[in-house]
């Protein structure tokens, strides 16, 4: 269970283009909505949201304090400015603490894989987050994956290897592979790959040439 993080917000009346002036004041226009509640326009301080987002991401429960009234929410969606990458809008989803939610929990890879260090293999990460279903209060902050168990090219880390609370349901097959180490390519396999690429390029060039000849007829 992750620690609840608090974020303050205030109601706003500025919508549409009028909300642009809020961004110039280092405020982020946002909306809060959820099951059986009307959407509510709010703003949060840019610096406060940046701090909270770095800790909570989109998987940890947040206590949103709106003008003194507290709501349990998840960050449901964010919008970023194309050039600067700054936050321009945030959607908060108010959860019912008695109803299960589905969300993505980030994976954190730690350690060093012997199959990479000693055998020269390549670490393959098939995912960086995992789908779960549980009550909001039981949401894990993250799952830590220790890749030091990848000693040979036959070793894999699967969903079944995660330490999962019995209060959390993983929405993936237990045999789904999270990480493994692939053997390095030999000079022979690289040569075969280059030959295949050259053959494919020649075929494409031949087709293009034929099409041009047909066009001239």
List Cβ neighbours of 32 (8 Å cut-off, separation of 6 or more): 9, 39, 40, 42, 64, 66, 71, 73, 91, 92, 93, 94
| Cα 12 from Cα 6, distance rounded (Å) | 19
Give the chain's mean pLDDT: 86
pLDDT in the model for residue 1: 45
Q: Which CATH number fits domain 102-182: 2.170.120.20, 3.40.50.300, 3.10.310.30, 3.50.50.60?
A: 2.170.120.20
Give the count of beta carbons closer than 10 Å to the beta carbon of residue 106: 16
Kindly report, as residue ranges, where domains of CATH 2.40.240.10 are found in the chain: 5-96
Kindly report, as residue ranges, where domains of CATH 2.170.120.20 are found in the chain: 102-182
Q: What is the CATH number assigned to the segment(s) 5-96?
A: 2.40.240.10
- Predicted confidence (pLDDT) at residue 157 exceeds the cutoff of 50: yes
| Mean pLDDT, range 42-65, rounded to an integer | 92
* DSSP character string of 56-69: HTTTS-EEEEETTE
| Cα 9 from Cα 145, distance rounded (Å) | 35
List Cα–Cα distances, 19 to 16, 22, 49, 85, in angstroms: 6, 5, 17, 18
pLDDT in the model for residue 46: 95
Q: What percent of the chain has pLDDT over 90?
A: 65
* Higher per-residue confidence, 141 vs 30: 30
């Amino acid at each position: 269970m992750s620690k609840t993080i608090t974020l303050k917000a205030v109601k706003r009346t500025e919508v549409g283009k009028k909300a642009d002036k809020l961004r110039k004041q280092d405020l982020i226009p946002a909306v809060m909505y959820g099951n059986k509640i009307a959407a509510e326009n709010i703003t949060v301080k840019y610096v406060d949201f940046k701090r909270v987002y770095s800790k909570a991401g989109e998987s940890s429960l947040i206590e949103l304090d709106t003008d003194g009234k507290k709501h349990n929410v998840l960050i449901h969606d964010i919008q970023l400015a194309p050039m600067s990458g700054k936050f321009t809008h945030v959607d908060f989803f108010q959860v019912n603490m008695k109803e299960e939610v589905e969300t993505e929990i980030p994976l954190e890879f730690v350690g060093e894989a012997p199959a990479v260090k000693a055998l020269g293999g390549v670490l393959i990460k098939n995912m960086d987050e995992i789908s779960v279903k549980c009550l909001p209060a039981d949401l894990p902050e993250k799952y830590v994956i220790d890749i030091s168990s990848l000693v040979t090219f036959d070793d894999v880390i699967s969903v079944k290897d995660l330490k999962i609370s019995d209060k959390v349901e993983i929405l993936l097959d237990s045999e789904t592979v999270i990480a493994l180490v692939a053997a390095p390519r030999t000079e022979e396999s690289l040569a075969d790959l280059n030959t295949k690429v050259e053959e494919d390029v020649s075929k494409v060039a031949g087709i293009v040439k034929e099409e041009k000849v047909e066009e001239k007829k």
